[in-house]
Homo-oligomer: A and B are copies of this chain.
Amino acid sequence: MLSTTSRTTLGRGKKRARTSRDDLYAVLDAGLICHLGVVVDGYPMVIPTGYGRIGDTLYLHGSTGAASLRAGGSGGEICVTVTHLDGIVLARSVFNHSVNYRSAMIYGRPRLVEDPEERLAGLRALTEQLAPGQWDAARPPTRKELAATTVLALSLEEASVKIRQGPPVDDEEDYALPVWAGVLPLRTSWGVPEPDPAMTADLAVPEHISSRIVAIQ
């Protein structure tokens, strides 16, 4: 079950709220980037960034010099939102237009990860979220690279999930209008891999990359 704190209990759009942790995991695991919210000098900052999940912990990383991570790492509250836009909901009235989506919001105070093993595990999860298989295929991080990287851990304890699916919901009297109504689905897919022109050897696209091209369709 997901948390029921005031900020994760939906005041509006209750019908779209999910309460199972499996829904949370599914939304997070299907994502590539999140939008990280921090408060800097009293104003909000929303930064697109990568993430990875291990169990009930979300890992974020960044340069040790980044203001956003300094704010997050100094014990302040953060909010992480992952959104999948699945389609545009075309209703018979302008007012009832909507979107189909899956989104997760996580609130909490992140923990600065200092244990070397957990730092590596977190970075691995982050890399694998974007590029499964690459952690083992590419050169591992050096001590210097690790020192330049901040890793934060955010508990998934306080989270909410919202999902909207299906056709528009119109006002009763609008169903008779001669207006086409339905959903225009939005699809995300991988294109053909583009080899780095600077590649010196003639290497084939590895299976762990080429196999993704059909996987996401």
Interface centre among A83, A184, A189, A206, by most chain B C-beta atoms within 10 angstroms, is: A184
Instruction: Say yes or no: A182 contacts B200, CB within 8 Å.
Output: no
Interface size class of A (residues with CB under 8 A): 35 or more
A116 within 8 A of B: no
A55 within 8 A of B: no
Contacts of A88 in B (CB 8 A): 32, 130-131
In the assembled complex, the Cα of A97 lies from the Cα of B52 at a distance in Å of: 14
Q: How many copies does the complex hold?
A: 2
Q: How distant is A110 from chain B, measured CB to nearest CB, in Å?
A: 12
CB of A134 to closest CB in B, whole Å:
6
A125 CB to closest chain B CB (Å) equals 12
- A99 touching B33 in the complex, CB below 8 Å, given contacts A180-B203, A203-B178: yes
Instruction: Please tell me if the beta carbons of B167 and A182 are within 8 angstroms of each other in the complex.
Output: no
B contact residues around A103 at 8 Å (CB): 48
The chain A residues found within 8 Å of chain B, CB to CB, are 7, 11-12, 32-33, 35-40, 42-48, 50, 63, 65-67, 77-81, 83, 85, 87-88, 90-95, 97, 99, 101, 103, 105, 107, 123, 127, 130-131, 134-135, 137-142, 145, 149, 167-168, 170, 174-201, 203-206, 209, 212
